Amino acid sequence: MLLKLIYSSGLRISEALNVTIGELDNKFLRIKGKGNKERIVPLLDEVREDMLSLIELCPYTNKQHSEGFVFLGKQGKKLDPAVFQKVVRILKNSLGFEEGTTPHAFRHSFATHLLSNSGDILSIQELLGHSNISTTQRYTKIDKKRILESFSEFQ
């Protein structure tokens, strides 16, 4: 579910791990990103429902405590990013995914997929929390490269 959240909302790992139970009442998440900048990102219904199911199944969750984190580790504390990165690395290796498959790659995929489906670069910049458009523009280069590769396949 954590990967699903990262991919569907374009969050960084740390941002996703800071989501609290009380935030799941809305269709949007209020995210504090780098530099304590706040932004609003969509929360898909399917992702919200999955997260609510996770909360119900987790033995450590205090369901009445809206300040509690959604993603918890073995000890009932907020999940450590390194633990999640290790899980993704294990999955990547066991499923034979590309070397660059990391949790952060799902954030990049979010941006690239939006852009390739007629997404507005300024909206994507806002969703990702980039303060500088040049940071977001690197996704246009990735997209152009992919288009050229696809085009050359048909020649």
- Catalytic residue list contains 60: no
- Catalytic residue list contains 34: yes
Instruction: Note the Cα 35 to chain centre separation in Å.
Output: 18
Please tell me which residue in 7, 12, 39, 48 is annotated as part of the active site. 12
- Catalytic residue list contains 113: no
Buried b (16+ CB within 10 A) or exposed e, 93-102: eeeeeeeebb
Instruction: Note the Cα 4 to chain centre separation in Å.
Output: 7
Work out whether the CA dihedral 75, 76, 80, 83 comes out positive or negative.
positive
Please tell me which residue in 4, 89, 104, 113 is annotated as part of the active site. 104
- Catalytic residue list contains 37: no
Please tell me which residue in 139, 141, 144, 145 is annotated as part of the active site. 139
Please tell me which residue in 34, 65, 86, 138 is annotated as part of the active site. 34
Please tell me which residue in 107, 108, 141, 144 is annotated as part of the active site. 107
- Catalytic residue list contains 130: yes
- Catalytic residue list contains 12: yes
- What residues are labeled active site? 12, 34, 104, 107, 130, 139
